[in-house]
Amino acid sequence: MSSGPQATRSPGTDLVLRHLSERFPVPDKPRLAPLDELVLTILSQSTTDENRDRAWRTLAARYPAGEVGDEADGASAAGPISWESVLRATPAELEDAVRVAGLANQKAPAIHAALERLRAEAGRITLDHLEEMSDEDAIAYLTTFRGVGVKTAACVLCFSLRRPVLPVDTHVLRIARRLAWVPPRASADLTYTALSRIVAPSERFRMHMLLITFGRSLCLARAPRCGECPLEPECPKVGV
């Protein structure tokens, strides 16, 4: 780890965006309905994208949208999954459906609780009412759901509603610390607030996607590939 004044000198966000954009394409992210994105993000917690997607496909296969009774029950049919059918599933059935994503005994109850609450509150299993909320109100509302933190809520706003928020996952958090954008032990929530101040709203989606690609390919948690890094001359390498 570097020492002295250079250790806390961090590169600007514009420079980071420029260098990473020259090195990596910005990955595409399909836009889902808000409720679909919420469940997908819950499934993604503490697992790989592959296992998250396998669990999602299992839900779609076992509880396909368009089943008899969906419209009568007021369910949203925006995506491939019938959330009414998921709500009617037993706890054991739902746990089995999402088991491949890991932590099924936590994720299944969180999904069921969200569906049950939405039906009770709105009479329909939907999160479309997020469209009417400000970013701050939507984050505050979503984080009152079981198993939903700021990162998960921010993913719903960023990817589904295309709001100018920057979700902080493990890659974004690690890189923000290494670049000295936040203190070395900053929490994900503190980092979310800090990045909201220093990254322009119009660049937050691009920054999030590029940092994830960067974190998976070069700025690894262990043995980062600094010799191949386009940020190496400017990076303070905090904690490396």
List, for residues 41-97, the tens digit of each pLDDT value: 999 999 999 999 999 999 999 999 985 455 444 444 458 999 999 999 999 999 999
pTM of the model: 0.89
- Which of 29, 107, 151, 237 is flagged as catalytic? 151
Q: So what's the pLDDT on residue 76?
A: 45
Residues of the chain with pLDDT under 70: 1-8, 67-78
Q: So what's the pLDDT on residue 26?
A: 86
Q: So what's the pLDDT on residue 130?
A: 96
Q: So what's the pLDDT on residue 8?
A: 60
The mean pLDDT value of the chain amounts to 92
Distance CA 185, CA 189 (A): 12
Q: So what's the pLDDT on residue 78?
A: 58
Tell me, yes or no, if 151 is annotated catalytic: yes
